[in-house]
Amino acid sequence: MVKNNIKVGLIGLGVVGGQVAKVLLERADMLSHQTGSEIELKKIKVLPADLGKPLAQFLPEQLFTTSDEEFFDDNEIDIVIELIGGETPAYDYIKQALGKNKHVVTANKEVIAKHGPELINYAASQGVSLYFEASVGGGIPLIAPLERDLKANYINGIHAIINGTTNYILTRMGDDGLDFDMALKQAQELGYAESNSKNDIEGIDAAYKLAIMATLAFQCQVKPEDVFHEGISSLNARDFKYAKELGYAIKLLAIALQYDNTIEARVHPVFIKQDSFLANVNGVFNAVSIEGDLSGHVIFSGQGAGPLATSSAVTADVLRACRDVQSSTRNRGIILSTQKVIKPVSQIITRYYMRLNINDSSGVLAKIAEVLGQHDISISSVIQKETDDLSKTAEIVIMTHPALGNAIENAIAELKSLEVVKDINTAIRVEEI
Ligand code: HSE
């Protein structure tokens, strides 16, 4: 039976919540036309402080509540949109709404990365759906393609730029020669990075998003703690200069690969060839390349964050939930393999770029080559970049052939103990995409 009036409850009136409220109200006619039912924003659950926001002043007072009971006990609400972010109390709110047989739409990457499969299956057991397109890549469709359009594929891998803040910082460092602190400051001034930007800078935000995509792509639960992450704060403008000279760009990539019964999931800075697609995704833009065995490489790109782009994904999920309300259908839950193993980063083999400060005297390069050789690391090229005649030190850049992660780690520890090695400034993986 078609329901003529579908009622929606919204939790949160932050930048995304406010924008979604606007879309639901301003586009009510268009959205209702698409679903064949009136879609009514019935209630917004807010914190007392939100009531002073300009948008709250502008909307009818009876729309707002600060009470959990009033919101969750409202039997008329069919669909709950959760847009407060963070794990707590968002996880409890989502669970409560599903427990009361309401469909849920969320943009919450942390909750979905940590609890996605459990919540999807709980929703199915309650006869409702949980949608989370906006949790990864803002306005870029990624979840629906992974759940539906690419479903016939065996997914070999995902290579993604899925954090706009870090991509902006790396672009400024690469294009304008800014150092990290200056580029971060710019990102903060432009409102891209949050004032506490740890999650962005250290790759945690990207790890959440990769865990969500990898779980759907590989049909095996990839938890945030399974994703190795390394941030960008130790990168130096010199690395960008040298990368360029060698024909590479530096990007923070989120990489998930599947082969046999093994999965690799990692987020870290990489050297990628300047002429590759991902090397040319700049500023706050995101891009995701997914390789299916049937589809080949499919690339999605666009605005990975921001209220407008995110409201596009959230509202589309609301429309999907409306169809579920009307047809009394729901997601079928998610069945995950327990057979696959996550490969530790120490066992992952890649080429490396290394930048070292060493004594500028005879026999030093031979000593370094010997240590690398002892760890089974073969050198592909060595370039002496700068020399300081006063301190008699030189900066060298080493490119290696493919080497094991733990071999590099052990070799670096040993090199650091050599008197002739003043500092190892960076070691960055080189990815062939
Ligand atoms: N902090 C995120 C980014 C925002 O910079 O991409 C959206 O997840």
Q: In whole angstroms, what is the distance from residue 312 CA to residue 198 CA?
A: 27
Q: In whole angstroms, what is the distance from residue 403 CA to residue 302 CA?
A: 34
Nearest Cα residue to atom 2 of ligand 1: 163
pLDDT for position 240 = 96
β-sheet bridge partners, residue 228: 266
Helix ranges restricted to H, 219-306: 237-245
CATH 3.30.360.10 fits 143-303, yes or no: yes
Q: In whole angstroms, what is the distance from residue 77 CA to residue 333 CA?
A: 22
395 CA from centroid of ligand 1 (Å): 35
Q: What atom in ligand 1 is closest to the CA of residue 109? A: 8
Q: What's the token pair of residue 324?
A: 């579920």
CATH topology of domain 5-138+307-327: Rossmann fold (3.40.50)
Q: Please list the residue range(s) of the chain that carry CATH number 3.30.70.260.
A: 345-430
Nearest Cα residue to atom 7 of ligand 1: 305
Q: What atom in ligand 1 is closest to the CA of residue 192? A: 5
Nearest Cα residue to atom 4 of ligand 1: 305
Q: Model confidence at 195, in pLDDT bands (50, 70, 90)?
A: low
Q: Please list the residue range(s) of the chain that carry CATH number 3.40.50.720.
A: 5-138+307-327
User: Which residues' Cβ are closer than 6 Å to ligand 1?
Assistant: 163-165, 200, 205, 304-305
pLDDT for position 338 = 78
Sign of CA dihedral 225, 228, 231, 234: positive
Reported as a single tens digit per residue, the pLDDT across 126-141 is: 999 999 999 999 999 9
152 CA from centroid of ligand 1 (Å): 30
pLDDT for position 206 = 97
pLDDT for position 1 = 60
Residues 376-389: b if buried by 16+ CB within 10 A, e if exposed: ebebeeeeeeeeee
Collect contacts of 17-21 with beta carbons under 8 A, ≥24 apart: 17/44, 17/81, 17/83, 17/84, 18/53, 18/55, 18/307, 19/307, 19/308, 19/310, 19/311, 20/81, 20/83, 20/310, 20/311, 20/314, 20/315, 21/55, 21/59
Q: In whole angstroms, what is the distance from residue 167 CA to residue 144 CA?
A: 24
Q: What atom in ligand 1 is closest to the CA of residue 310? A: 7
Among 163, 168, 170, 267, name the best residue to mutate to test ligand 1's pocket (greatest count of ligand atoms within 8 A of Cβ). 163
94, 319, 325 from 316: Cα distances, Å: 18, 5, 14
Q: What's the token pair of residue 395?
A: 């900066």
pLDDT for position 310 = 94
State the chain's mean pLDDT as an integer.
94
Percent of the chain with pLDDT over 90: 88
Listed range (10-14, 17-21, 325-329, 349-353) with the worst mean pLDDT? 325-329
Q: In whole angstroms, what is the distance from residue 117 CA to residue 332 CA?
A: 12
Q: Model confidence at 385, in pLDDT bands (50, 70, 90)?
A: confident
pLDDT for position 334 = 85
Reported as a single tens digit per residue, the pLDDT across 232-247 is: 999 999 999 999 999 9
pLDDT for position 302 = 96
Between 28-35 and 307-327, two packed helices, what is the crossing angle to 10 degrees? 40
Q: What's the token pair of residue 42?
A: 């019935």
Reported as a single tens digit per residue, the pLDDT across 300-320 is: 999 988 899 999 999 999 999
Residues 6+ apart with CB under 8 A from 161: 167, 251, 252, 253, 254, 278, 281, 285, 286, 287, 288, 304
Catalytic residues: 209
* Residue found by looking up tokens 């539906």 in the block: 148
Q: Residues 374, 377, 381, 384: what is their CA dihedral angle, to the nearest 10 degrees? A: -50
Q: What atom in ligand 1 is closest to the CA of residue 305? A: 7
Asked if pLDDT for residue 43 goes beyond 70, the answer is yes
Reported as a single tens digit per residue, the pLDDT across 319-368 is: 999 999 998 777 777 888 878 999 999 999 999 999 999 999 999 999 99
Listed range (207-211, 268-272, 358-362) with the worst mean pLDDT? 358-362
197 CA from centroid of ligand 1 (Å): 10
DSSP 71-130: HHT-TT--EEEE---SSTTHHHHHHHHHHTT-EEEE--HHHHHHHHHHHHHHHHHTT--E
Q: Under a CB-based contact definition with an 8 Å cutoff, are residues 50 and 43 in contact?
A: no
Q: Which CATH class is domain 345-430?
A: alpha beta
Please name which of 391, 426, 393, 427 lies closest in space to residue 407, comparing C-alpha atoms: 427
Q: What is the pLDDT averaged over residues 415-420? A: 95
Q: Please list the residue range(s) of the chain that carry CATH number 3.30.360.10.
A: 143-303
Planar angle of CA 149, 161, 147, nearest 5 degrees: 20
Q: What is the pLDDT averaged over residues 85-97? A: 97
257 CA from centroid of ligand 1 (Å): 23
Q: What is the pLDDT averaged over residues 277-299? A: 97
pLDDT for position 335 = 81
Please name which of 33, 120, 83 lies closest in space to residue 314, comparing C-alpha atoms: 83
81 CA from centroid of ligand 1 (Å): 19
Among 112, 135, 188, 200, name the best residue to mutate to test ligand 1's pocket (greatest count of ligand atoms within 8 A of Cβ). 200
Residue 394 corresponds to which amino acid?
A
User: What are the backbone angles phi and psi of residue 426, rounded to the nearest 5°?
Assistant: -150, 150
pLDDT for position 204 = 96
